[in-house]
Amino acid sequence: MRLSRDELKTLMKNKMMAAGLSEDHAEQTSEILTWSHERGYASHGAVRVEYYSERIFKGGITTNPTFTWKETGPCSGILDGDNAIGYVVAKEGMIKAIEMAKKNGVAVVGMSNMAHSGSIGYYSEMAAKEDLVAITFCQSDPMAVPYGGTEPYYGTNPISFAAPTADDRTVVFDMATTVQAWGKILDKRSQGASIPADWAVDEKGAPVTDPHLVNALLPIAGAKGYGLMMMVDIFSGVLLGVPFGKHVSSMYHDLSQGRCLGQMHIVMDPARFVGLETFKKSMSQVCDELNAMTPAPGFDKVYYPGERAVMRRDKAMEAGGIEVVDELVEYLRSDDIHFDRYDHKNRFAD
Ligand code: NAI
């Protein structure tokens, strides 16, 4: 069913507050979840609230955290998030990075000891809205084989970048470094459908089409995606002194413990390079040229990254609200906080 933006956000906020999150943190988190859901990233929207509520309720998210900000140079710093909800830590880190980049031209800000921060495009977009260019990377739990390997070693380690234009368009690229998210495998299991052979592997590292045999996800573009997920883990894990590679905590392992994840924002002020106005004008030109290109057979248009997400949001608003599956709405409207479904769960189990 369709919910208005306000109703969806308020329901998610209230549920996380009922689980024990502060009003401020629940407000910020539900705003970012709504941002994702309305852009068509339902996998990073309302569906996550029950899991967060269970972790909050069981103590694996610090609800009254002490953030520690250490400026390590004119252009660098680390924010220790005290295992608070990741959305608030990543947002706070981006606020610091924006301030620093405006002052000193460049900012490299790491966040350590945080929980999951959702769709990371939100944070790079924050910088673009302030006329800055940004990249952000974060760790996620080990689910992907290295190229040629048999065991999960890296997470779906996402990468996002964003840049402003001279008009109201914002380029926001935002992707996992695996071919598909784990949620898509679960969808196929529930439909009784098979998966394409380039999505995942079994215990021997061989490609599988039966979603029940999946033991790990495959990186995008073979060895190239493997290199990218390693890069993400170096920037947002090894560099920050948090667990890295296969030592990154599992999302569903022990919901009473903090996840100790890392994230990295790199923000640059175009004024220190080509100049802000020239940069923005050139970015508008890039978007115009891409949009004007004759599309290939089977395509309706060439889009710039992030364009379709905004179109999905606008379409949802025109249609009277954001589509949310009925069972999820029922849960959000109920008095239930969680159903004890995630703690100590093997993510590859049926
Ligand atoms: P996706 O495959 O839907 O999109 C990836 C990128 O490709 C987007 O920037 C999109 O704008 C662009 N794109 C897609 N189709 C396009 C087209 N026709 N023309 C132009 N550009 C196009 O994204 P994916 O990989 O499924 O990731 C979904 C979300 O999951 C992201 O928000 C990501 O941040 C989040 N995520 C978060 C993780 C975490 O641990 N916090 C882990 C993994 C993913």
> What integer best gives the mean pLDDT of the chain?
96
| Residue 236 contacts residue 117 (beta carbons within 8 Å) | no
What is the span of the domain harbouring residue 258? 68-272
Share of the chain above pLDDT 90, in %: 93
User: Which residues form the catalytic set?
Assistant: 116
The CATH number given to whatever domain includes residue 8 is 1.10.1530.10
The residue behind tokens 């296969």 is 246
Return the closest-CA partner of residue 269 out of 76, 94, 93, 100.
100
166 pLDDT exceeds 90? yes
The model's pLDDT over 192-206, given as tens digits with 9 standing for 90+, comes to 899 999 999 999 999
- Is residue 181 in contact with ligand 1, taking CB distance under 6 Å? yes
Structure token digits, residue 33:
């979840």
Distance from the first to the final alpha carbon of the chain: 27
Shared domain check, 13 and 144 = no
190 pLDDT exceeds 80? no
DSSP E strand boundaries for 133-182: 133-138, 159-164, 170-175
Shared domain check, 74 and 27 = no
Nearest protein CA to atom 32 of ligand 1, as residue:
119
pLDDT grade for 181, boundaries at 50, 70 and 90: confident
Mean pLDDT of 5-26: 98
Shared domain check, 188 and 85 = yes
Number of structural domains the chain divides into: 2
Q: What is the pLDDT of residue 346?
A: 78
DSSP E strand boundaries for 21-117: 68-73, 76-84, 106-114
Q: What is the pLDDT of residue 313?
A: 98
| Residue 215 contacts residue 152 (beta carbons within 8 Å) | yes
Shared domain check, 99 and 83 = yes
The residue behind tokens 């029922």 is 330
Predicted TM-score of the model (pTM): 0.97
Could you tell me the distance, in angstroms and rounded to a whole number, from the CA of residue 68 to the centre of ligand 1?
31
The model's pLDDT over 73-103, given as tens digits with 9 standing for 90+, comes to 999 999 999 999 999 999 999 999 999 999 9
Q: What is the pLDDT of residue 248?
A: 97
Shared domain check, 236 and 181 = yes
Shared domain check, 76 and 51 = no
Return the closest-CA partner of residue 61 out of 92, 86, 31, 94.
86
Mean pLDDT of 246-266: 95
Q: What is the pLDDT of residue 183?
A: 76
Structure token digits, residue 166:
């001279």
pLDDT grade for 232, boundaries at 50, 70 and 90: very high
Classified as helix, coil or strand, 13 is helix
The CATH number given to whatever domain includes residue 121 is 3.30.1370.60
Shared domain check, 134 and 7 = no
Task: Please give the full DSSP string across 281-317, using - where no structure is assigned.
Answer: HHHHHHHHHHHHSPPPTT-S-PPPTTHHHHHHHHHHH
Could you tell me the distance, in angstroms and rounded to a whole number, from the CA of residue 94 to the centre of ligand 1?
20
Nearest protein CA to atom 12 of ligand 1, as residue:
305
User: Facing residues of 170 across strands?
Assistant: 164
The rounded distance, in Å, linking the Cα atoms of 39 and 314 is: 8
Structure token digits, residue 103:
């002052």
The residue behind tokens 């115009």 is 288
- Is residue 260 in contact with ligand 1, taking CB distance under 6 Å? no
Could you tell me the distance, in angstroms and rounded to a whole number, from the CA of residue 96 to the centre of ligand 1?
25
Q: What is the pLDDT of residue 43?
A: 86
pLDDT grade for 350, boundaries at 50, 70 and 90: low
From 116, 175, 185, give the residue whose CB has the most ligand 1 atoms within 8 Å, as the site to mutate. 175
